Amino acid sequence: MPLLDIEGLRVDFGDRGRPLAAVEEFDLRLDVGAVRGLVGESGSGKSVAMLALMGLLGPDARIAADRLHFGDADLLALSRGARRGLLGREMAMVFQDPIASLDPCFRIGAQIEETIARHERLGRSARRERALELLRSVGIPAPASRLAAWPHQLSGGMCQRVMIAIALACRPRLLIADEPTTALDVTVQAQIMGLLLDLQRRTGMALLLVSHDLPLIAETAQRTSVMYAGRIVEERPTASLVARPRHPYTRALLDALPERHRRGERLAAIHGSVPTPGARPAGCAFHPRCPWARPRCADEAPALLADGDGSVRCHFPLDPGAASG
């Protein structure tokens, strides 16, 4: 049984009579202890899908799915209280901006201990000991003195380590890291990614990495899903996705990477931007930006179909060896 099994997830905002679908036909499976990537430009719906999974969207979001299972729990059938109980204890999430995620009015130790107290019956000194052990496990130097520190006294990288410590406080089976390094300096980014992978290996938890940064995911995830305009457009083992992309959008993301260009060569940017839910074109949502678009693409929305070692949503999947369009 997969740890996470999502089929046909849909998230709507706006009026019921005129719903705006931020996420549609979203499928994702994740095995126990696996590392998976979810990639797309900002506005593609990745974070909304993850917040829906965690039950963290506001009351204006309407969530439906054919299947939304975590282990043997049907998340759609759980009460609000039971769902909240899973959060933190079994599933945890790390966000993009670690400084904003910490409460500036409480010391680091108090924030970690509060999470522990919410899920485990431990006395004060046992909670403190566990908080210390967590800070040590995420590589924070002089952890005893950091427990008494305020968030503003720590760097962005240190704050993200604290957020990871808080996320791991109750030994979750799934950690979702949503753009965990985007707000950090390049050197710190590599340290945080190294830490996440090291923790994943040590604890055996599953890791779902969400990012606009395909190379970051390519180095770490076993399988990757690519999302565009609220839908998964390609899914396959990461190595094959990067070496032989079949969807033009995946191909365009790869072609836009600086490391794929020779010095002085012009970068192949993807023209235009991801359409908002209310402004998606008919047919394939990528067709106004797709160099391979044909007349059928503007009329008929493609389905996600099995294709080799994965699946692709395109009427005319690329030849694995195709040159840029």
Q: Are 170 and 162 in contact (CB under 8 A)?
A: no
**314 counts as binding ligand SF4 under rule CB under 6 A:** yes
> What is the closest distance, in whole angstroms, from the C-beta atom of residue 280 to ligand SF4 in the complex?
12
> What is the closest distance, in whole angstroms, from the C-beta atom of residue 308 to ligand SF4 in the complex?
16
Of 75, 93, 297, 304, the one binding ligand SF4 (CB under 6 A) is 297
Say how far apart CA 266 and CA 269 lie, in whole Å. Answer: 9
**290 counts as binding ligand SF4 under rule CB under 6 A:** yes
Q: Are 101 and 167 in contact (CB under 8 A)?
A: no
E strand or H helix at 7: strand 4-13
**70 counts as binding ligand SF4 under rule CB under 6 A:** no
**293 counts as binding ligand SF4 under rule CB under 6 A:** yes
Of 211, 292, 310, 311, the one binding ligand SF4 (CB under 6 A) is 292
Count of Cβ atoms closer than 10 Å to residue 89 Cβ:
17
Q: Which residue has the tokens 């904003």?
A: 100
Of 54, 207, 286, 304, the one binding ligand SF4 (CB under 6 A) is 286
Say how far apart CA 188 and CA 164 lie, in whole Å. Answer: 14
Residue list 4-33, contact with ligand SF4 (CB under 6 A): none
Q: Are 285 and 228 in contact (CB under 8 A)?
A: yes
Geometric angle at alpha carbon 140, from 137 and 141, rounded to 5°: 120
Count of Cβ atoms closer than 10 Å to residue 96 Cβ:
18
Say how far apart CA 259 and CA 262 lie, in whole Å. Answer: 8
**40 counts as binding ligand SF4 under rule CB under 6 A:** no
**83 counts as binding ligand SF4 under rule CB under 6 A:** no
Residue list 244-283, contact with ligand SF4 (CB under 6 A): 248
> What is the closest distance, in whole angstroms, from the C-beta atom of residue 192 to ligand SF4 in the complex?
33
Of 36, 173, 246, 315, the one binding ligand SF4 (CB under 6 A) is 315
Q: Are 232 and 302 in contact (CB under 8 A)?
A: no
Between 65 and 297, name the residue whose CB sits nearer to ligand SF4. 297
Binding site for ligand SF4 (CB under 6 A): 248, 284, 286-287, 290, 292-293, 297, 302, 314-316
